[in-house]
Chain A
Amino acid sequence: MKKEKQIAKDEDEELVSLCQKGEVDAFEALVRRHQKRMFNIAFRMLGDYDEATSLVQDAFLSAYRGIKGFRGESAFSTWLCRIAINLSKNRLQQLKAQLRHEAFSLDDPLLSDNGQIKIDPASGDPSALEVLEKKNIQQKVQGCINTLDPEFKEVLILRDIQGFPYEEISEMLRIPEGTVKSRLFRARASVKDCLKKFIGDL
């Protein structure tokens, strides 16, 4: 596993150096390698598919602009994720400001005015019931994640969803490992409480 990661890292470095020489195709390879993770981080951070799509584009574009300044002090994936996280946090701030201005938005299905999750009415289709149930839970989990403050959210996403080691998260977010952990535990507790509130029994 570690070996694979190392190989991936080496390949990244190679592609990055090609990019730095101006090879756009090498960047495309990097996009293909990292876009899924980037997208998932963005999606979990923003809680919205379309937002995530547009954010990933922005993140890659900004990575492309900044790739000549990338010195390889951290792994390329770490660097890339930091960009996604930072952009996501900025975007969240923008959305929050927008929410305050727009009293109610139809395009905002996940958050209600008070920042709580709207409960989607259950579909009556029995054959899809189980699937819906699972989906429903996942949506609710996402809804709970959405309620978290960004600094807790990011830790939870990076650790529990993306599975980054503490060390890397600490590097990515530029906070001490201890802070990562304490934030993670608080985030988990919040989500747990949130889920309990909406679903009752877990």
Chain B
Amino acid sequence: MECQQIQERLSAYLEGSLPPAEKALIEQHLKPCQRCQEALADLRKTIEVVQGLPEVEPPAWLTQRVMARVRSEAAPRKTIWERLFYPIPVKLPLEAAGVIAIAVVTIYVFKGIQPEMHLGKAPLEGMRGPTISEVKRPAVPPSSMPEGKTQEKEKAIWGKGIEPKPTQPPEQPMSQGRKEAPAPALRYDQVSPSAGEGKRAEPRREVLSDKEEAGSGFDLTKARDELKSGARPAAPQPEALAKKPTGQPATQGQQGAQAQAQAPVPAERENRAMSSVGAIVKDESRPESLSAAPRGGETHEERVKEKSDRQALSAAPAAKALAEKRQAAIHLTLTVKDLDAARPEIEKALSQLGGRIIKMETIEGKIVLSAELSSNQVRKLLDRLRDLGELKGGTVDSAAEEGATEMIRIEALRAQ
């Protein structure tokens, strides 16, 4: 073996990891070979020196430094999360504040607009019931019921239903009710039916002015109860009573009538009734009761009166507002030959008189138009409308303030 080869294996030899044969070979070579002996010695020394290299002490602050970095590593992760989500805790309140601000602004803006909207809407709401019925009145043959009886019953209802307005002093209506109600009831010899009809009438009236009329409803039921020999339990809640006639014994016919009362159809019938009621009422020379059926074509004055009555009656401010609005309304029914032709004419008339159309809709062959018009122009409008066709309603309240704005509701119908 050459020295080179031997020296390459010296390390392994020192480790003792050589197979015995090889080890023996090396030992054999080493004995005479000075160079290789030296190399072995150097190697030993080298290993010794290397292994003897002292351990170096790391700086004392190393742990702290490492941990500072580790902790800032742990923290930065948090801050990365925070950076991603930090905007939210800040933004959420900002956004919430923004939304609230927008909401508040919106409310204020709408509050500013609302009076107008109410003016436009209120009369519509108030009128809807009557108008529809009026429109349909001619369309629906009154034959669906035994004419005489139902109509007369309905008259009775209206006679009662009307009472509510004057009810202001709680006692008064009662006595009135007593006076008036007995007449129809006795006439038909049917106490309960009349009561049922009273109920029937009421839901409708609620449409007109919901709570406002609650008081009147109450009176009605009271009166009714008295009518019905006072055997019935007093109604705790007039509204509930009016809507739910369950508490009262009813004949079959009565129930049928009640059921109808809730459906749209009865409205027509009621309308029919209404007109007749108007007549009755007039006969009985009771203008207050008349007011309940403004569609019947009574005067504006009456209506105004009724409304002011109601106004005083109603404790609820909402109802009051509604009443006020209604007060301003003039209801006109115009029967024309050609509806399509009449429409632009009406619009023209209104615009020429400085009126403002708030709402216009066409419902089942009729045009319902709401407009604002200064009260001193109303007369002119009426004249112009008369030129277009047969005009009903619309007595101008002469007492109206000069320059005040009237709400006008015009219903144009096709002549039949």
Contact = CB atoms under 8 A, between A and B. Distances in A.
Contacts of B11: 184-185, 188-189
A185 B50 CA distance: 13
B282 to A, nearest CB: 91
Contact of A138 (B15, B53, B57, B58): B53
Contact of B66 (A43, A49, A61, A185): A61
Given A35-B58, A36-B57, A161-B53, A185 B12 contact: yes
A181 B58 CA distance: 29
Nearest to B75: A24
Contacts of B50: 141, 145, 156, 160-161, 188, 191
Interface string B54-66: 1111110011011
Query: Per DSSP, are chain A's interface residues mostly helix, strand or loop, or mixed?
Result: helix
B73 A65 contact: yes
B219 to A, nearest CB: 77
A63 to B, nearest CB: 9
Interface in A168-192: 181, 184-185, 188-189, 191-192
A78 interface: no
A31 B63 contact: yes
A60 B70 contact: yes
Contact of B43 (A44, A52, A65, A192): A192
Given A24-B67, A24-B74, A61-B73, A142 B46 contact: no
Contact of B53 (A64, A141, A185): A141
A61 B73 CA distance: 8
A137 interface: yes
Given A31-B67, A35-B63, A35-B66, A56 B51 contact: no
Contacts, number: 102
A109 to B, nearest CB: 16
Contact of B51 (A27, A160, A202): A160
Q: B-side binding surface: helix, strand, loop or mixed?
A: helix
A60 B67 CA distance: 9
Contact of A40 (B15, B49, B55, B67): B55
Interface string B92-135: 00000000000000000000000000000000000000000000
A24 B51 contact: no
Interface residues of A, number: 39
A31 B70 CA distance: 10
B380 interface: no
A160 B66 contact: no
B7 A189 contact: yes
Given A61-B73, A188-B11, A56 B42 contact: no
Contacts of A184: 11
A60 B65 CA distance: 10
B47 interface: yes
A189 B70 contact: no
B53 A44 contact: yes
Given A36-B57, A40-B58, 13 more contacts: A35-B62, A35-B63, A35-B66, A52-B58, A61-B73, A142-B53, A145-B50, A163-B51, A185-B8, A185-B12, A192-B43, A196-B42, A202-B45
Across the A-B interface, the 4 shortest Cβ-Cβ residue pairs: A185-B11, A39-B58, A192-B46, A202-B45
8 contacts: A35-B63, A35-B66, A52-B58, A60-B66, A65-B73, A138-B54, A188-B47, A202-B46
